[in-house]
């Protein structure tokens, strides 16, 4: 589904000129994603987990929808996101919460140059069903990545499981990069709603 920015949604003249259907309402990216996941499940597609970036990781509604649909999730959250590590404790920035974590070297899957190694740690939170996963890569810029994780009923709430799910985002990122480079997804010159849908 194409994302329609809110500034477009509110501008009747712009919508008319671009041919955006009058019935189409503004929806945030997490709202679009919730609708997509529900549609796939209704059509009988088997889904066990969701892996997502910060846009979705910040959304409590998106995480709640995944739980309601009995899906595991591994979703990136920003370093200033706050979480309580135990019941009755104050929320702290996850970057601070992970400072004393114990890391293990694990591969998040195989890439074009072999295993994608990183250092990983898993911490409990005040929510017994949600965990904080931290990845540390030996690089100067942005060495840490933080994830909120949930294991659906019957799924293991283990470091191995969450690292595996986190690693499955890599093929999606590669596809987006190829789409942008090869098909101009981010630089198309079309100016109408129908043409943009056809181009995509």
Q: Which pLDDT score is estimated for 121?
A: 97
Count of residues making up the chain: 200
| Structure confidence at residue 115 as a pLDDT band (50, 70, 90) | confident
Q: Which pLDDT score is estimated for 141?
A: 84
Q: Is the pLDDT of residue 33 over 90?
A: yes
Q: What is the mean pLDDT of residues 152-177?
A: 89
Q: Which pLDDT score is estimated for 140?
A: 79
Q: What is the pTM of this model?
A: 0.86
């Amino acid at each position: 589904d194409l994302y329609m920015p809110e500034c477009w949604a509110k501008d009747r003249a712009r919508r008319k000129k671009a041919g955006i259907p009058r019935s189409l309402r503004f929806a945030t990216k997490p709202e679009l994603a919730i609708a997509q996941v529900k549609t796939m499940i209704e059509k009988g597609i088997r889904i066990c987990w969701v892996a997502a970036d910060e846009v979705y990781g910040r959304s409590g509604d998106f995480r709640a929808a995944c739980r309601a649909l009995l899906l595991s999730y591994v979703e990136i959250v920003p370093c200033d996101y706050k979480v309580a590590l135990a019941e009755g404790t104050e929320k702290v920035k996850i970057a601070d919460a992970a400072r004393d974590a114990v890391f293990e070297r694990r591969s998040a899957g195989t890439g074009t140059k072999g295993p994608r190694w990183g250092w990983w740690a898993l911490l409990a939170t005040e929510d017994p069903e949600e965990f904080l996963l931290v990845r540390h890569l030996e690089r100067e810029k942005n060495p840490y990545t933080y994830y909120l994780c949930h294991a659906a009923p019957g799924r293991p709430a283990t470091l191995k499981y969450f690292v595996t799910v986190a690693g499955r985002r890599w093929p999606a990122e590669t596809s987006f990069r190829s789409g942008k480079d090869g098909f101009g997804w981010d630089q198309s010159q079309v100016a109408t709603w129908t043409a943009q849908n056809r181009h995509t």
